[in-house]
Every structure is written in C-alpha cells, then in structure tokens.
Amino acid sequence: MNLKKNDKIILTVGVAILIIAGIGIAVYTSPDTDEIKAGDTEPDYLSFSYNWMRQTTDNIVGNDIYVEKSSTYNDNLAINSPTGSVMTSIEIQIIWEDDYTYGILRTKGEDTLTVTITDENGVSKTESGTGGNNITLQFNNINDIPSPDSILAEDTTDAMNILEGMISGENNANFDIEVNVETGERLFRPLKFLRDKGNDFQINAKYTYYFYELDEPIDDNDDDEDKTTNNDDGSNIGVGDFYKNLCYGRSMI
C-alpha cells in the first residue's frame, strides 16, 4: 500500500511518541536500588527511662609527698569517678602536720604551706595554712548535674551503650598542683633552721558524681492480645489495635 507523504510523517511521529512513552514507563517502574529488601525490616525499639543517683566519694590521691623549703612541688592531679558517671564537683584537701615546732606556752617555728591548684579551664585557686592547718580548695561545676530523660534502644545493652556514649569523658578532671613550704625557723636560729628542711603532706579528693539507673523498658506490643477494652456495642478491642500503626524512630525524647 502506497502512503502519501503526509501519512508517512504522521506515522513516523506516532512511532516516535510510542517509543518515548515506552522509555518513560520503563524508567518510572524500575526498581529503586535503595529500597529496603524483603526481610530487612527495622528493629523494634523500646523506650528506656533513666534517672540519676548522687554519690560522694573520698580518695587519697597522693600520700607521703615531701616538699623542701628551697624547692616547689609540681605535679598533675587526675581525678576519676567510675565509668558511666558524671562528675559534678571536687573538693581537694591538703592534709599535713608541722613536723618541727618548739615552745611551751606558745608554739614557735610553725611552717606555712601554700597550695595553688589550676583546673583544665585555667581557673586557679591559692590557699595557705600555718602550723599544720589543713588546706581545702573547692571546684564546683566540673560538669552540669544530669537530668532524667528517656531514650529509644533495641535492648538494655544498647540503651547503656547510648547513655555512656552521651556522657563519655564527663567522669574525669585534671588539675595542675603547686605546693611551697616556708619554714618557721629563722636564720638567727641556725640549728633549728638547718633541722627543718621542709614538710610532707598528702592529697585527698572528695568528689561528687551521678550514676544512671535504667527503668524497665516500655514495650507496647507485649500482651496486646490479653489487654482488651470494650466498644459501645460491647465488642472487645485489643489494646494492640491502638498501637499497631505506631512506629518508633531512634532518637532522644
């Protein structure tokens, strides 16, 4: 059959339209490579509430340290609370006794111990004690007091890992400590001056920290079939029907 020129043009355009439409349909219906495969379902998450319990601990962090009158004791002081806790405040105490004094009615020759402690933020505190009076320096606001909250996790171990990741590094603090001693004996008492070469002391750290306690997880799918309520017409509806479309995302609440 012979086609006229106009018919050939129309036929060609029609075929082109069909080809383009076919390509469009193929692209639209092609499987998405990022689509979740069958069986790769999201795990069910549980809601874990947690609270914080306060604890205070005393530890000797330096013992039998001797500082001479002609030198300075310098060291780094690292204080750590248990893993998985948040340290909030530290009280550092220098405990010492004057090793050489004299006098009957009045104590003479008392040494003076001066302590300077600097925290990680450059905050420095200095205190002095004479004749064996203990020295106490307080560092508050090491970390903020944590607040109770809740998280979504697959199980208890997962919840603990999430929490400990959130507070990682908040259970330790570092300080630079400097101690000097000035002996009470003067040069016009040469024997006593030579005898008193310095003084010893110990460092005690009293720190407050908070550790977490996890509550039992809330699983809305447990015993759904056993927990029922009634419709107006008296028929039973399982509590699970109220939650079957509930989907959890893993995040802080």
pLDDT in tens, the chain (253 residues): 555 666 667 767 676 777 777 777 766 655 555 555 555 567 789 999 999 999 999 999 999 999 988 889 999 999 999 999 999 999 999 999 887 776 676 677 788 999 999 999 999 999 999 988 999 999 998 999 999 999 999 999 999 999 999 999 999 999 999 999 988 766 556 666 667 678 899 999 999 999 999 998 876 555 544 444 444 454 444 433 433 333 333 333 3
Cβ neighbours of residue 111 closer than 8 Å, sequence gap 6 or more: 98, 99, 100, 130, 131, 132, 181, 182, 183, 184, 196, 199
98's tokens: 């004057």
Residue with tokens 């129309």, as numbered in its chain: 10
Prediction pTM value: 0.67
* The total number of residues written for the chain in this structure: 253
φ, ψ at 6 (rounded to 5°): -65, -35
Task: Give the whole-angstrom CA distance, residue 72 versus residue 118.
Answer: 15
The overall longest dimension of the chain from CA atoms, in Å, is: 140
Q: What is the pLDDT of residue 184?
A: 75
Q: Are 111 and 183 in contact (CB under 8 A)?
A: yes
> What does DSSP say about strands 112-118 and 124-130: parallel, antiparallel, or unpaired?
antiparallel
Q: What is the pLDDT of residue 234?
A: 47
Task: Give the whole-angstrom CA distance, residue 27 versus residue 237.
Answer: 45
Domain annotation for the chain: domains and CATH numbers: 46-214 (2.60.120)
